[in-house]
């Protein structure tokens, strides 16, 4: 019997039997129901974009040096941190980016240039982004806007953690 076989032969035989048993259970039988696909449930943002616009203006201008400045007016508390990115139309990567802080309802980027100097003249997309959580905003800013959860208006959405976020785009010719 099995005990009479040399140990290496017995081990190989058991390994073969185990693999054969596993292979028989892999894909051969159709008696198990197929698993259904499931999708991540994202937060419902219905109604968040209804309300007065938070963004009053977003404009880009070219300086004599060729650098670009982006300015804007927003209805957000002083000290609110926002990110301004410049992208080529249809592009996913920013060609220039800056973080700014709101002061007296306004923000202004420092002079922006691309990786190789001034951005070539042409069409661009401006993106304004703000997250209203403790990673982005100070306690004072979050307190002034009630944690940000009451924000409503064009561009307002919810991040994965449920916190409020602002994302708006504008086309610009530079």
Residue 109: give its domain's CATH number. Answer: 2.60.40
Sheet strands side by side (includes 55-62): 55-62, 68-74, 106-108
**DSSP code of 102?**
-
Regarding pTM above 0.85, the answer is no
- Whether residue 133 is contained in a domain is answered as yes
Range of the domain at 119: 55-173
- Whether residue 142 is contained in a domain is answered as yes
Contact call for residues 68 and 119 (beta carbons, < 8 A)? yes
Q: Give the pLDDT score at 14.
A: 52
The domain total for the chain is 1
Q: Give the pLDDT score at 44.
A: 46
Contact call for residues 163 and 45 (beta carbons, < 8 A)? no
- Whether residue 127 is contained in a domain is answered as yes
- Whether residue 48 is contained in a domain is answered as no
The string of pLDDT tens digits covering residues 17-67 is 555 555 555 555 555 555 565 555 555 445 777 888 899 999 999 999 999
Q: Tell me the C-alpha distance between 97 and 86, whole Å.
A: 6
């Amino acid at each position: 019997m099995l005990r009479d076989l040399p140990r290496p032969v017995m081990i190989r035989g058991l390994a073969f039997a185990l693999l054969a048993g596993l292979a028989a259970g892999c894909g051969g039988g159709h008696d198990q129901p197929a698993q259904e696909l499931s999708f991540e449930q994202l937060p419902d943002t219905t109604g968040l974009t209804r309300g007065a616009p938070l963004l009053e203006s977003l404009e880009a201008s070219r300086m004599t040096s060729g650098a670009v400045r982006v300015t804007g007016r927003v209805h957000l508390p002083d000290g609110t941190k926002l990110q301004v990115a410049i992208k080529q139309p249809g592009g996913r990567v920013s060609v220039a980016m800056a973080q700014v802080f709101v002061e007296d309802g306004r923000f202004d980027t420092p002079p922006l240039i691309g990786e190789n100097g001034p951005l070539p003249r042409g069409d661009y997309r401006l993106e304004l982004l703000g997250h209203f959580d403790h990673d982005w905003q100070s306690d004072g800013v979050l307190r002034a806007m009630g944690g940000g959860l009451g924000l409503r208006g064009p561009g307002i959405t919810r991040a994965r953690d449920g916190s409020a976020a602002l994302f708006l785009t504008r086309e610009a010719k530079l």
